[in-house]
A = this chain, B = another copy of it.
């Protein structure tokens, strides 16, 4: 017997699309009890919102999110709008007793994130932040390998998230599709957009980041506004790099940019421990690379003439999430990372073991992001306070 999960989606942009796709696919692939129902989608532009609703099958359209979060026929509010709107919507949704799923980064700053976390926890509503890259099977396998103790004492972690789509000074900023370049809507540039992913994954695998030393740059100083046509100063960080010390004593380097010619979605991490190492690259998501040094069975080491980096093609039914899809050797795509996340969230509701990352976890990532921006401004090492 299935239960309805009535969805109110806020936002019809890129993330509105990826989340909606996940709701529509859930029951085809995952044996959960809940059946998402696309009740309403909310957007300020009624025409565009209606077109989106028609394309994807939402029952109705809202143009004021305040109506949506109060609607009685909605169980879950999903926030897929620009960063500057997350705070208000999440607080209101929680206070109306709705489950809240929020696109990353959680908030514009730590103060907001703390209040949002308090709100969902006080309301006691299920909540999750869409750090979807945890749900790439290869990344989930990395977590499993770490938890199996195959990496050992951690020495190093390094992450990059490189893109190249804003190199041209002709790219405008602001407006519907380009709010990520507008500091008022986005809060920061690559730090909140891309490094937030890297930091979430890093702390999931390697524990809290204790302190950072960062530098940011804005390579293109002025851009035309996409809607008004006015030339405006660029307020975001085009690129950000930082050194990190983890609470466990390991060292980290992080870098993100939208100016790395030839890198499109080059979200990579490498972790080096006493017993093994891991490497992942989102541009070839079907692989996790693993160097195993640890003794496989008691008393024996890997024979040294056979050691090497192993490319694990994470498409076996033994790999995370993959038993729900096709056959070994066949890949899933970007969109399935959202589907997997949703499946985990719903399973969390049904089993009473909430999935991660919830708002509290995302708050820790926010702490690091804020510390990074702060360090870059001050030119000093900054403690993050992340737990």
Residues of A within 8 A of B (CB): 14, 17-18, 21, 24, 27-28, 55-56, 141, 144-145, 155-156, 158, 160, 162-165, 167, 213-215, 217, 219, 239, 241-243, 245, 249, 251, 253, 255, 257, 259-266, 270, 272-277, 282-287, 290-293, 296-297, 300, 304-313, 315-316, 318-319, 325-336, 379-381
Contact = CB atoms under 8 A, between A and B. Distances in A.
Tallying the copies of this chain within the complex gives 4
Contact of A155 (B18, B28, B257): B257
A310 B313 contact: no
B253 A253 contact: yes
Contacts of A286: 283-284
A299 to B, nearest CB: 9
A49 to B, nearest CB: 16
26 contacts: A24-B28, A141-B305, A155-B167, A155-B260, A155-B261, A156-B260, A214-B243, A253-B255, A260-B272, A261-B273, A262-B276, A263-B272, A283-B313, A283-B329, A284-B286, A284-B287, A290-B306, A296-B297, A304-B318, A308-B311, A330-B334, A331-B334, A332-B334, A332-B335, A333-B335, A380-B380
Contact of A156 (B145, B239, B249, B308): B239
B167 A251 contact: no
Contact of A297 (B262, B284, B291, B297): B297
A352 B293 CA distance: 39
Ordered nearest first, which 8 A-B pairs have the shortest CB separation? Answer: A265-B329, A262-B291, A264-B329, A333-B333, A330-B334, A308-B312, A308-B310, A155-B259
A27 B273 CA distance: 40
A272 B262 contact: yes
Interface residues of A, dominant DSSP: mixed
Nearest to A381: B379
Contacts of A285: 331
Contact of A255 (B158, B215, B380): B158
Nearest to A327: B14
A54 B296 CA distance: 45
Contacts of A330: 265, 333-334
A330 B331 CA distance: 13
Contact of A326 (B24, B262, B311, B335): B335
Contact of A272 (B213, B259, B282): B259
A253 to B, nearest CB: 5
Given A283-B286, A305-B316, A326-B334, A241 B260 contact: no
Given A215-B213, A331-B334, A251 B241 contact: yes
Nearest to A213: B213
A316 B251 CA distance: 27
A210 to B, nearest CB: 12
A308 B249 CA distance: 31
A219 B245 CA distance: 13
